[in-house]
Amino acid sequence: MAYGGGQKIDNLGQLKAAYDNPGRYKMLFLYGPDESEISYIVKKFLAHIGNNVEHILLNGDQLRSDPALLSDEANAISLFGEKKIIHAEIKRDEAMTAIEYYLQGPAGEHVVLVQSGNLTKANKLRKLVEADKSVLSLIVYEAKSDVLFGRLNGHAKSLGLIVKPDLIRAILARVNMNIHLAMMEMEKLSLYHDASIDNPKEIEEQAIIDLAADKADDDIAPLINAALSGQVKITVKELNNARAVKMEPVRLLRLMMYRVQQLIQISQDMASGKKFDNATRGIFYGLKPILEQQVKLWPAQRLFGLNGHLIDMEETVMTIGGQSAITYMEAEILRIAKTASRRRQPGK
């Protein structure tokens, strides 16, 4: 449950209602631990608004360098009376000054939607928006697996795809329950098979396997497998390959985060009494031996710590940028591989 100026909001319907009643709120603010769920809600919200509204997208760097930009865009006069939505995607407190400046001024002519990530209760920006009666905030938690299954199944049907339940669960598991990425996978399948509602196509397991192979472009999967399995020499080789193809550091770190979160889920399922085969239901058989080894190398407590470290790494990489970011990332991934290697049995 979230609070915005004392008003509770717990679903997308109330967010839509806030938009349909202009003047009640100066800002719609979304935050929470599940960024994929936030992206899903934003996508649905923008679809509700329709294509007749001009979409002005801002980012945290822009608002940090020009704190007046948000207010300027929100108060810009439309010459022909067209509606606009000012949509800002930020991380943590990077737009604090811009948001504070906007909230202190008069209400803008256009809707302002701010999309952030996880904010603790002690976070200054969270305290600011929750205390301001002109802000409607929505805290977004992880959606339950059955909800994600229903969404992806419905999306597949809308694209003309007939997908068995086990394969839908497999796609969700492969992207670590990220509904935004899972929907993109379905869209790729639909395009590849030329499917539509008028020309439905049934998707077999091999098509999903082929898609998985296509997803690991630039050969990133071997690097993630080697690092988390403690194969130091292979990690060095794959880091060189990643550098050769100019792999984007943030993208690489996020793919590694997906794997770590997948391992956390498997570890938790096994701790609750499930056998490995049951805990990895829906995961392709070719990946299972690798995951089984990595779960043994990384106890749950270490996985949680590693996940937090990867989040910190992403923030550092985005801050320093350039060649320094690549060098830093390579050193940290090699350190992760060395940590795992110390837990490997000789000859493994």
Lowest mean pLDDT among 203-212, 314-323, 333-342: 203-212
**What span, in angstroms and rounded, lies between the C-alpha atoms of 331 and 327?**
6
| Sequence ranges of the chain with CATH classification 1.20.272.10 | 217-341
**pTM of the model as a whole:** 0.55
- Tell me what pLDDT residue 94 has: 86
| Sequence ranges of the chain with CATH classification 1.10.8 | 145-215
**Cα angle for residues 268, 186, 210 (degrees, 5° grid):** 80
Look at residue 212 and tell me whether its pLDDT is greater than 60. Answer: no
Pick among 3.30.70.141, 3.40.50.300, 3.60.10.10, 3.90.79.10: CATH of 2-139: 3.40.50.300
Look at residue 231 and tell me whether its pLDDT is greater than 90. Answer: yes
CB neighbour list of residue 236: distance below 8 Å, 6 or more residues apart: 334
User: For residue 10, what pLDDT band results from cuts at 50, 70 and 90?
Assistant: low
- Tell me what pLDDT residue 347 has: 46
Mean pLDDT, the chain, whole residue set: 83
Which of 15-19, 27-31, 35-39, 118-122 holds the top average pLDDT?
27-31
**Secondary element (H or E) of residue 331:** helix 322-341
| Sequence ranges of the chain with CATH classification 3.40.50.300 | 2-139
User: For residue 110, what pLDDT band results from cuts at 50, 70 and 90?
Assistant: confident
- Tell me what pLDDT residue 29 has: 94
* pLDDT, tens digit (0-9, with 9 covering 90-100), for 281-317: 767 667 788 999 999 999 888 998 898 899 889 888 8
Pick among 1.10.1200, 1.10.357, 2.60.40, 1.10.8: CATH of 145-215: 1.10.8
Cβ-contact 34, 143 below 8 angstroms: yes
Beta-sheet strands, E only, within the chain:
2-4, 7-9, 27-31, 54-59, 84-89, 111-115, 135-139, 161-163, 201-203
Q: If you ran DSSP here, which 8-state letter would residue 78 be given?
A: P
- Tell me what pLDDT residue 147 has: 87
CATH topology of domain 217-341: Zinc Finger, Delta Prime; domain 3 (1.20.272)
- Tell me what pLDDT residue 72 has: 92
- Tell me what pLDDT residue 348 has: 45
